Amino acid sequence: MIPLTYMMSLSAIIFAIGVAGVIIRRNILVMYMSIELMLNAVNLAFVAIGSRLGSMDGQVIVFFVMTVAAAESAVGLGIIISSFRNRDTVHADDLTLMRW
Amino acid sequence: MTVQFPALALILLFPLIGVVFNMFFGSRSGRGAVNLVGPGVMFAAFAVATWAFLTLLKLPPGGSLVAPLWGWIEGGPFHVEFGLRVDALSGVMVMIVTGVGSLIFLYSVGYMAEDEDFARFFTYMNLFALSMLILILADNLLMMFVGWEGVGLCSYLLIAFWYTDPQFAYNGRKAFVVNRIGDAGFLLAIFTTAATLGSHGVWTLNFVELHNNAALLGGAAATAICVLLFIGATGKSAQIPLYVWLPDAMVGPTPVSALIHAATMVTAGVYMIARLGFLFTMAPSALDLVAAIGAITATFAATIAIVQPDIKKVLAYSTISQLGYMFLGVGTGAFASGIFHVMTHAFFKGLLFLCAGSVMHALGGEQDMNKMGGLRRKLPITFATMFIATLAIAAIPPFSGYFSKDLILEAAYESGHTWLWLLGVITAGLTSFYMFRLIFMTFFGDSRVDSEKEHHIHESPPVMAIPLIVLAILATVGGWVNLPDGWLWGNAFVRFLTPAVGTFKPIVEANLTSTSMPLVASLIGIVLAYVLYIRLPGLPFLLAWRLKAPYDLLLNKYYIDQIYNVVVTRPLFWVSYYVLDRAVDSYMIDGAAEGAGLAVLTSGQVARRAETGNVQHYAFVYLLGALGIVAYYLFLVTGR
């Protein structure tokens, strides 16, 4: 049986990668993918702790998260495409209309 | 004995109707309606006042009519009623104001016949009457103050009635500002009264209750209150040192001068002191101050009047002088005789101003007596009535002024104010001199009227002549209500008023010399005026030339205006402009307001740099915040 520490460590590492991706990468699509990475890192933690405690709650919440993530990706991708069509860019540095 | 008499409210209601009508419908409904309503409401008020006065006469001495209307200020234990009260004192005043007022309103119809702004004129006049009646009918100090301020406002509005002339507007402001100085004294007196009585647990400003609780005001507080009240009175009643506004007030229409600046408003100070006579009796030093200022003012103003060339200026200084007499009267404690002079003065001085207005009307607005002369045949009614008024003011028996002035001087003598009595006697001589000078220069001798005005001279229309005649009758017989002791009904007026106002204790016996001196002085004045202005008409010029220095001093009114200008007005203007406007307003107040704006703007310029618009920067800050919260819980809350 894989120790919980391993799973939690993996989850933390994936989450950190996601955070770094959101903050460092300039391409919105990649930032978007990094967000998905963070969500899945959290899912992993839920499932791991759920199985360790012998409770179904963790898995139930993961389903919710996946549903929301699916909906969110539909909306988010729509925004990105529309933004690309209007501005010809997917670069976060160029999308700074709401500045001083 | 106190009787409920709700109809007193009508005395205020009628002028109020006049104000509202003339203000909102006056210019639309035309001259006829205004001429009917303006004076009409005054006659109606006069009728009600007469009814009230006759009711009052039937009551036993010391009785009063009251009409409590509504509670006005309720503040814990302190409460002020909006209530009206007529006793002997306010009854007499109401009769004067509505009676003389009605006649002057009637006269105004003729005098303002050529003026386009008749509706505004009658609005102000009615508002004045309303304020004056509030002042008189008030049953407490605060309500009296409302009327006091109201008449001050109307005085300003009417002095500056022809506001297109900057000088007239300036004179209006001057009157208002000088009056405000006095009003501050009055207001402080009210505060002191309320505070002092309040510290004894009595919260009232009602005259009757003040009278009952007057003993609670110690000598020092009473003196302070009385001096402050007198400062208020010097402002409104044009006494030294605050008299300077009254001569300048003569730029207003002549009926205004007659009604406000001679017959009614300026006597408000005398009325106020008589009303609060019980307080002044407790403060003998304040009362002496009143008497001294009154006598000095009387002489001072009379000396100025003897050289003035302007007919209205002579009458203005004469008014100040006569007001001085009234203050001498109330200042010696003879409140009834002061009020008696208020009444006779209202008759003859109102008449004098209306006559002067009639002369000016005939001469197309001319006020310089050097350009009059020989008018007695052309203006017979004006001449006859003005001559009667002059005899009255010069205190020649049996005209009204004789009885009242004599009574005041007698009181001054009997109460031991011999020096003030002497000033009063000198003033009596000066008074008859300048008044007969006015008569002789205006109506006798050769005509000095400008030739193009000469053929326009005409007697005034009946609407102006009738008030003159009625007032002339009153100026003749008005003094007969108070004859010397033992004649017919004797001193009926003083006996009627004394229960309401109190009186003084004589300490010196009057003798034949003391009672006859004023009359002798008056006769000397008349003879002098006759010699100088009829027999030897060149002599005044010679005297003016020989005695140039004192003549110029008098002609320039002792340079008081110039002195005030240098000592008070200019420094005030300097402080207002350089300190208050330039320094305080421009730098400190504007600086604070603009500085606050600038500080916000500058800090905003810096802070807005944080808003890059780049979503990753926000995410980074968000991450730092999240990490901070996690760290807080990890290390501080759980303590590991």
Regarding whether B533 and B585 lie in a shared domain, the answer is no
Q: Do A31 and B616 touch (CB under 8 A)?
A: yes
Q: Do B613 and A22 touch (CB under 8 A)?
A: no
Give pLDDT, residue B639.
67
Give a yes or no: residue A69 inside a domain.
yes
Strands, DSSP E only, in B176-237? none
Regarding whether B219 and B131 lie in a shared domain, the answer is yes
Give pLDDT, residue B504.
80
Q: Which of B608, B613, B619 comes nearest A96 by C-beta?
A: B613
pLDDT bucket at B216, cuts 50 / 70 / 90: confident
Question: Which chain A residues are closer than 8 Å to B616 by Cβ?
Answer: 22-24, 26, 31, 92
To the nearest whole Å, the CA of A77 is away from the closest chain B CA by: 17
Contact A80/B at CB under 8 A: no
Position B270 pLDDT exceeds 70: yes
pLDDT bucket at B489, cuts 50 / 70 / 90: confident
Query: Best mutation site among A23, A87, A97 for testing chain B: the one with the most B CBs within 10 Å?
Result: A23
Question: Which chain B residues are closer than 8 Å to A99 by Cβ?
Answer: 611-614
Position B225 pLDDT exceeds 90: yes
Position B545 pLDDT exceeds 90: no
To the nearest whole Å, the CA of A52 is away from the closest chain B CA by: 23
Give pLDDT, residue B305.
92
Query: Best mutation site among B614, B624, B630 for testing chain A: the one with the most A CBs within 10 Å?
Result: B614
Regarding whether B490 and B421 lie in a shared domain, the answer is yes
Q: Do A100 and B608 touch (CB under 8 A)?
A: yes
Question: Which chain A residues are closer than 8 Å to B634 by Cβ?
Answer: none
pLDDT bucket at B348, cuts 50 / 70 / 90: very high
Give a yes or no: residue A39 inside a domain.
yes
Regarding whether B602 and B467 lie in a shared domain, the answer is no
Give pLDDT, residue B640.
59
Q: Do A98 and B613 touch (CB under 8 A)?
A: yes
Give a yes or no: residue A99 inside a domain.
no
Q: Do A100 and B613 touch (CB under 8 A)?
A: yes
ipTM of the complex: 0.87
For residues B133 and B147, is the Cβ–Cβ distance under 8 A? yes
- State residue B252 phi and psi, 5-degree precision: -70, 170
Q: Do B613 and A23 touch (CB under 8 A)?
A: no
Question: Which chain A residues are closer than 8 Å to B614 by Cβ?
Answer: 92-93, 96, 99
Give a yes or no: residue A100 inside a domain.
no
Q: Do A99 and B613 touch (CB under 8 A)?
A: yes
Q: Do A23 and B623 touch (CB under 8 A)?
A: yes
Locate the chain A residue with the closest alpha carbon to B615.
A92
- Mean pLDDT check: name the lowest of A21-30, B215-224, B397-406: B215-224
Residue B608, domain extent: 562-637
For residues B542 and B536, is the Cβ–Cβ distance under 8 A? no
Question: Which chain B residues are closer than 8 Å to A92 by Cβ?
Answer: 614-616
For residues B11 and B52, is the Cβ–Cβ distance under 8 A? yes
- B4 forms beta bridges with B66
**Tens-place pLDDT, residues B106-120:** 999 988 888 888 899
Q: At what angle do helices B380-393 and B335-362 cross, to 10 degrees?
A: 160
Q: Do B611 and A98 touch (CB under 8 A)?
A: yes
Regarding whether B235 and B156 lie in a shared domain, the answer is yes
Regarding whether B529 and B584 lie in a shared domain, the answer is no
Q: Which of A19, A24, A96 comes nearest B614 by C-beta?
A: A96
**Tens-place pLDDT, residues B47-68:** 999 999 999 999 888 889 999 9
Residues contacting B45, CB < 8 A, separation 6+? B10, B11, B14, B15, B98, B102, B129, B133
Contact A20/B at CB under 8 A: no
Locate the chain B residue with the closest alpha carbon to A91.
B614
**Tens-place pLDDT, residues B293-343:** 999 999 999 999 998 999 999 999 999 999 999 999 999 988 999 999 999
Mean pLDDT for B549-557 is: 85
Contact A96/B at CB under 8 A: yes
- Mean pLDDT check: name the lowest of A6-15, A33-42, B23-32, B152-161: B23-32
**C-alpha angle B539-B309-B159 in degrees, rounded to nearest 5:** 170
Q: Do A22 and B608 touch (CB under 8 A)?
A: no
pLDDT bucket at A18, cuts 50 / 70 / 90: very high
Q: Which of B608, B611, B620 comes nearest A23 by C-beta?
A: B620
Contact A31/B at CB under 8 A: yes
To the nearest whole Å, the CA of A31 is away from the closest chain B CA by: 9
For residues B350 and B468, is the Cβ–Cβ distance under 8 A? no
Regarding whether B137 and B51 lie in a shared domain, the answer is yes
Highest mean pLDDT among A48-57, B195-204, B385-394: B385-394
Domain boundary residue, one of B555, B586, B619: B555
Query: Best mutation site among A15, A22, A32, A97 for testing chain B: the one with the most B CBs within 10 Å?
Result: A22
Give a yes or no: residue A95 inside a domain.
no
Q: Which of A22, A24, A92 comes nearest B614 by C-beta?
A: A92
For residues B470 and B478, is the Cβ–Cβ distance under 8 A? no
Dist CA B575 CA B556 (whole Å) = 27
Domain boundary residue, one of B555, B584, B599: B555
Mean pLDDT for B570-575 is: 91
Q: Which of A22, A93, A100 comes nearest B619 by C-beta?
A: A22
Residue A41, domain extent: 4-89
Closest CA to B233 of B271, B260, B191: B271
For residues B105 and B38, is the Cβ–Cβ distance under 8 A? yes
- Mean pLDDT check: name the lowest of B90-94, B371-375, B504-508, B628-632: B504-508
Regarding whether B579 and B519 lie in a shared domain, the answer is no
Regarding whether B568 and B464 lie in a shared domain, the answer is no
Give the dihedral of Cα atoms A45, A49, A51, A56; nearest 10 deg.
Answer: -90
Q: Which residue has the higher pLDDT, B374 or B5?
A: B5
Domain boundary residue, one of B555, B589, B612: B555
Q: Do A95 and B608 touch (CB under 8 A)?
A: no
Q: Which of B611, B619, B623 comes nearest A99 by C-beta?
A: B611
Q: Do A98 and B623 touch (CB under 8 A)?
A: no
- State residue B67 phi and psi, 5-degree precision: -145, 85
Give a yes or no: residue A94 inside a domain.
no
DSSP assignment of B462-528 equals HHHHHHHHHHHHHHHHGGGGSPSTTSTT-SHHHHHHHHHH------S---HHHHHHHHHHHHHHHHH
Mean pLDDT for B75-85 is: 88
Q: How much is the pTM?
A: 0.80
For residues B557 and B463, is the Cβ–Cβ distance under 8 A? no
Q: Do B616 and A98 touch (CB under 8 A)?
A: no
Q: How many domains does chain A have?
A: 1
Regarding whether B624 and B551 lie in a shared domain, the answer is no
Give pLDDT, residue B557.
86
Whole-number average pLDDT of chain B: 90
User: For position A60, which CATH number holds?
Assistant: 1.10.287.3510
Q: How many domains does chain B have?
A: 2
Regarding whether B460 and B400 lie in a shared domain, the answer is yes
pLDDT bucket at A100, cuts 50 / 70 / 90: low
Dist CA B204 CA B79 (whole Å) = 7
To the nearest whole Å, the CA of A33 is away from the closest chain B CA by: 14
| Pairs from B450-454 (Cβ < 8 Å, separation ≥ 24) | B450/B366, B450/B371, B453/B363, B453/B364, B453/B366
pLDDT bucket at B77, cuts 50 / 70 / 90: confident
- Mean pLDDT check: name the lowest of A88-97, B148-157, B179-188: A88-97
Give pLDDT, residue B510.
78
Give pLDDT, residue B49.
95
Task: Provide residues of B within 8 Å CB-CB of chain A.
Answer: 608-609, 611-616, 619-620, 623
Position B512 pLDDT exceeds 90: no
Contact A17/B at CB under 8 A: no
Regarding whether B575 and B503 lie in a shared domain, the answer is no
